[in-house]
């Protein structure tokens, strides 16, 4: 099932409110939201999107997918994404992809080379709801050689993170798309 995430994400869809809405040959449907920033600093950033993989029987698997622009890193399945709420509670999500050196993406500019990796974390709808109702103050992204901590309050540290608001928006977009049946003529 999780291999489908990688296969589907290489497909392009022209839907307006989601990045992709497609079916596989076994009638599994995958809807992927557009991306938003999880955090952004001068030299690094991470974006995220939400996707739902829905089988023909109706079983849904939700995934929070990151695109991390920090440095070269490998991330094995089971590595954690920790989300810390302002009340001190910590939510833990597990990466389900094996990201090795051959999986780096990169962008070369005149001043530097940016490296990207894209781990994928299984998340439940209850966890999505909890995040959208809370305030995330810090994230920790575990990779094979350590972890990265990022504060989630913006440059001034006075503004709360927009992550819960953005996640709510993207989740709603995917849920709305899932309510509509697609036909061969959609987006043609």
Give per-residue pLDDT as tens, 8-64: 443 444 345 899 888 888 889 999 999 998 888 777 888 899 999 999 899 999 999
- Taking the C-alpha atoms of residue 9 and residue 72, their distance in angstroms, rounded to an integer, is 21
- Taking the C-alpha atoms of residue 83 and residue 97, their distance in angstroms, rounded to an integer, is 19
Which domains are seen in the chain, by residue range?
A: 3-179 (2.60.40)
Q: What is the mean pLDDT of the segment spanning 75-91?
A: 96
Where does the pLDDT of residue 124 fall: very low under 50, low under 70, confident under 90, or very high at 90 and above? very high
- Residue 182 DSSP one-character state: P
Whole-prediction pTM: 0.82
- Kindly provide the residue ranges of all beta strands, DSSP E only, lying in 55-135, ordered along the sequence: 60-69, 80-85, 90-94, 105-108, 113-117, 120-123
Which pLDDT score is estimated for 8? 43
For strands 36-40 and 45-54, give the pairing: antiparallel
Q: What is the DSSP string of 140-157?
A: EEEETTEEEEEE-STTTS
> Which residue, among 145, 112, 134, has the nearest Cα to 44 in the 3D structure?
112
Q: What is the mean pLDDT of the segment spanning 153-178?
A: 83
The mean pLDDT value of the chain amounts to 85
Which pLDDT score is estimated for 12? 41
* Partners of 45 in beta bridges: 40, 69
Residue 153 has pLDDT above 50, yes or no: yes
65 SS3 class: strand
């Amino acid at each position: 099932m999780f291999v489908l995430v990688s296969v589907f994400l290489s497909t392009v869809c022209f839907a307006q409110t989601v990045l992709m809405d497609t079916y596989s040959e076994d009638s599994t449907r995958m809807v992927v939201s557009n991306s938003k920033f999880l955090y952004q600093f001068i030299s690094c950033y991470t974006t995220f999107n939400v996707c739902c993989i829905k089988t023909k029987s109706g079983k849904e698997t939700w995934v929070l997918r990151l695109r991390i622009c920090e440095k070269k890193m490998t991330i094995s399945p089971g590595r954690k994404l920790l989300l810390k709420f302002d009340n001190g509670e910590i939510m833990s999500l597990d990466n389900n992809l094996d990201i090795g050196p051959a999986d780096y993406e990169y962008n070369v500019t005149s001043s530097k080379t940016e490296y990207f990796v894209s781990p994928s974390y299984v998340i439940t709808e209850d966890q999505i709801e909890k995040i959208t109702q809370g305030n995330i103050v810090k994230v920790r992204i575990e990779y094979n050689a350590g972890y990265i901590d990022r504060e989630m309050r913006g440059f001034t540290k006075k503004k709360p993170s927009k992550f819960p608001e953005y996640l709510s928006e993207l989740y709603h977009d995917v849920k709305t798309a899932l309510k509509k049946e697609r036909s061969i003529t959609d987006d043609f």
